[in-house]
Amino acid sequence: MHALIVIAHPNPKSLTHSIASQIVKGVSAADKDNTSEIADLAAEGFDPCFTVQDISILHREADPTPDIIAEQGRISRADALVLVHPVYWWSFPALLKGWIDRVFTNGWAYDDTSSERLVKKMRHLPVHIVSIAGADMRTYARHGYYGAMKTQINHGIFDYCGAPVLTSELLFQSDPDVCLKSGEAIGRRLFPSSC
């Protein structure tokens, strides 16, 4: 089984990157035949800006550009998609949101035409979301932020495409050791055991 782990943090020494490394470790530890690929959007220079060209792709007036086709290929090769990101303004960083905006295109992730029902095309791809929070759980609970994030991201993005969200984990940077252990545990349980 193959996991695509997408990271959206500009600092390679960040807790986000360390957690992603632990997820890779867990994927391998669960089964020696499992593989993983890290897509470090910042290091790779992914352009998150949604342009007029992207609008044409959305309306199916133009084909996706080579950079988008390459990202879609990475996702298509994966048996699981894992998003590891810090929480910025109670959501994804702009880099990750722009990746989704540009890569999850109409006709590839879903079919939305004015004459037919929405067709969800990603039902085969389990998604695991690992969010790293700066605030504590009390703050998230008091203001309903975590529930709002799950509605916006899990339902608003992934359910729209049909991709089942199997993990939606909120880790707190105030306890990095727990975050790292959680990352490895998430990696270990990404795929069913072959035993």
Secondary structure E strands in the chain:
2-7, 35-40, 80-86, 110-111, 119-120, 127-133, 165-172
Q: Is 84 left (phi over 0), alpha (psi -120 to 50) or beta?
A: beta
The structure's pTM equals 0.94
What is the number of other CB atoms lying within 10 angstroms of the CB of residue 16? 27
Residue-level pLDDT, tens digit, the chain, 195 residues: 999 999 999 999 999 999 999 999 999 999 999 999 999 999 999 999 999 999 999 999 999 999 999 999 999 999 999 999 999 998 999 999 999 999 999 999 999 876 678 899 999 999 999 999 988 888 888 888 888 999 999 999 999 999 999 999 999 998 999 999 999 999 999 998 755
Q: List phi, psi (to 5°) of 125.
A: -110, 105
Per-residue pLDDT, 194: 58
